[in-house]
């Protein structure tokens, strides 16, 4: 059973997530030769303050 975790900045719509789940499931089904019902996709919505890039918090870089 493949388990996929997608870390993404908060604010994605349910429709966007639904589309990604559909596409990722199809890709894993084809690549791993598994049934779609055995593919799990988890979303971790992150706030811009939850990670850094190039030595600074991402949220700080956006404000410059």
Q: What digits encode the pLDDT tens for the residues 9-40?
A: 999 999 999 999 999 999 999 999 999 999 99
Domain extent at residue 21:
3-63
Which two tokens mark 6? 């997608």
**For residue 10, what is the domain's CATH number?**
3.30.429.10
Alpha helices, DSSP H, located in the chain: 14-32, 58-63
Tell me if residue 23 falls in helix, strand or coil.
helix
Could you give the percent of the chain with pLDDT greater than 70? Answer: 94
pLDDT of residue 49: 87
Question: Measured over all CA atoms, what is the biggest interatomic distance in the chain, rounded to whole angstroms?
Answer: 46
Q: Name the catalytic one among 2, 4, 12, 29.
A: 2
Within 8 A by CB and 6+ apart from 16, the residues are none
Domain count, the chain: 1
Tell me if residue 59 falls in helix, strand or coil.
helix
Confidence band, pLDDT 50/70/90 cuts, at residue 61: low
Whether 63 shows a pLDDT value over 60: the answer reads: no
Which two tokens mark 19? 């589309």
Any catalytic annotation for residue 2? yes
């Amino acid at each position: 059973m493949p388990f996929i975790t997608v870390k993404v900045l908060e604010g994605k719509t349910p429709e966007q997530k639904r589309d990604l789940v559909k596409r990722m499931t199809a890709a894993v089904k084809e690549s791993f030769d598994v049934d779609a019902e055995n593919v799990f996709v988890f979303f971790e919505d992150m706030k811009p303050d939850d990670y850094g890039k190039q030595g600074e918090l991402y949220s700080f870089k956006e404000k410059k």
